[in-house]
């Protein structure tokens, strides 16, 4: 249960300290301003914030950069991110990264967020939250810590499937919600408008090459269904996701289905100990794929992990892939 609303700054300090948080006056209106309380819809549930979160812990690079893109580094206690996903270009939000703390390069845990005295954890299902590990919004609530769930990762039922809206809508939804939660809605609206314009400016071809997103896996490939970010990155870039009929976000399929759908282009998700070049070599030497159009014509394009999960880098990824696909259709 969240701490009760209070009337004075002294009581607010006591309330936040009780759940392991401190007042952080920078970054916009005062925490006890008339803007609060605010309620947002998060994955189909109402989430109410009585005050502006002051010590946020984020998990993973895309989630962290949503906060940084909104200028909210001063509201962060830090972020958790493995080296394999953290060694990416941070120029756009260099100052933001410098203004907060890399808390851990391992898996996020209750111990990490307690030590950081977090008052809010921003993560997602399979982006930190896990029933198996006992790291869930419900478990954090029992510790007096609020949660916000990444909209790309919203569970769509009782099973493991995720996704309740189109990927770009998930990005815009989270930016708008964060704008409300942190009282920076003007910043959020400007970002959303800019991203919408950037995506709308990408020309759509008459012929749409078929594209397979390869994340990882040799026995069975891990890929994107219609609710993960690559679905709209591919579609808005002028392509067609061959696995777009799967009502899930990130999921495993069989190589037989890849061969059957015969993609003209393969997009590699570049991250992990097995980098893009090793993945390329595997795909080109894997006998079942020898007859697939993308392999025969060496049409393999690489995007970084942060481009392909929900993040403020999605629109730029669309622009980059669109330029590549135009070369495919022209050739």
| Average pLDDT score over residue span 11-35 | 45
Helix H segments across the chain? 9-18, 61-69, 83-86, 94-98, 110-115, 137-141, 167-181, 185-200, 229-236, 255-261, 276-285, 293-296, 305-308, 314-330
Q: Is it the case that residue 214 has pLDDT exceeding 70?
A: yes
What is the pLDDT at residue 84?
A: 65
Which residues, 6+ apart, have CB-to-CB distance to 296 below 8 Å? 290
The dihedral through the CA atoms of 76, 80, 83, 88 has a sign that is negative
Share of residues in the chain with pLDDT > 90 (%)? 78
Name the DSSP letter for residue 149.
E
Q: Which CATH class is domain 204-330?
A: alpha beta
Q: How far apart are CA 231 and CA 38, in angstroms?
A: 32
Q: How far apart are CA 302 and CA 320, in angstroms?
A: 10
Q: Is it the case that residue 150 has pLDDT exceeding 70?
A: yes
What is the pLDDT at residue 91?
A: 64
Question: How far is the CA of 205 from the CAs of 195, 208, 212, 328, in angstroms?
Answer: 20, 6, 18, 11
Question: What is the per-residue pLDDT across 254-280, written as a single tens digit (0 to 9) for each?
Answer: 999 999 999 999 999 999 889 999 999
Residues of the chain with CATH 3.40.50.1980: 9-198, 204-330
pLDDT-based confidence at residue 26 (cuts at 50, 70, 90): very low
Question: How far is the CA of 152 from the CAs of 39, 149, 264, in angstroms?
Answer: 19, 9, 26
Q: How far apart are CA 23 and CA 54, in angstroms?
A: 6
Question: What is the per-residue pLDDT across 71-120, written as a single tens digit (0 to 9) for each?
Answer: 999 999 999 998 766 554 556 788 899 899 999 999 999 999 999 999 99
What is the pLDDT at residue 272?
A: 83
- The token duo for 62 is 């895309």
| Average pLDDT score over residue span 215-238 | 96
| CATH number, domain 9-198 | 3.40.50.1980
């Amino acid at each position: 249960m969240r701490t009760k609303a209070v009337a004075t700054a002294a009581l607010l300090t006591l309330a936040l300290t009780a759940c392991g948080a401190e007042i952080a006056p920078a970054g916009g209106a005062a925490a006890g301003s008339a803007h609060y309380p605010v309620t947002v819809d998060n994955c189909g549930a109402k989430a109410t914030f009585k005050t502006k979160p002051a010590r946020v812990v984020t998990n993973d690079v895309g989630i962290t950069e949503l906060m940084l893109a909104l200028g909210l580094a001063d509201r962060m206690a830090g972020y958790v991110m493995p080296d394999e996903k953290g060694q990416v270009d941070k120029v756009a939000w260099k100052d933001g990264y410098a203004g907060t703390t890399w808390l851990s390069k391992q898996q996020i845990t209750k111990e990490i967020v307690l030590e950081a005295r977090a008052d809010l954890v921003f993560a997602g299902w399979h982006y930190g939250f896990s029933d198996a590990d006992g790291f869930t919004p419900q478990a954090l609530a029992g510790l007096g810590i609020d949660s916000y769930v990444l909209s790309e990762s919203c569970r769509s039922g009782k099973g493991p499937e995720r996704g309740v809206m189109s990927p770009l809508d998930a990005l815009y939804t989270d930016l708008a919600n964060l704008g409300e939660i942190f009282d920076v809605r003007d910043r959020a609206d400007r970002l959303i408008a800019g991203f919408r314009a950037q995506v709308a400016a990408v020309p759509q071809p008459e012929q749409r090459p078929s594209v397979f997103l390869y994340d990882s896996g040799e026995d069975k490939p891990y890929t994107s269904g219609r609710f993960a970010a690559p679905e709209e990155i591919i579609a808005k870039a002028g392509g067609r996701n061959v696995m777009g009929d799967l009502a899930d976000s990130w999921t495993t399929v069989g190589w037989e289905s890849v061969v059957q759908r015969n993609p003209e282009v393969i997009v590699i998700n570049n991250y992990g100990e097995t980098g893009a070049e090793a993945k390329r070599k595997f795909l080109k030497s894997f006998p079942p794929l020898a007859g697939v159009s993308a392999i025969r014509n060496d049409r393999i394009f690489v995007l970084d992990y942060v481009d392909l999960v929900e993040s403020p880098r999605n629109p730029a990824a669309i622009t980059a892939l669109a330029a590549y696909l135009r070369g495919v259709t022209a050739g």
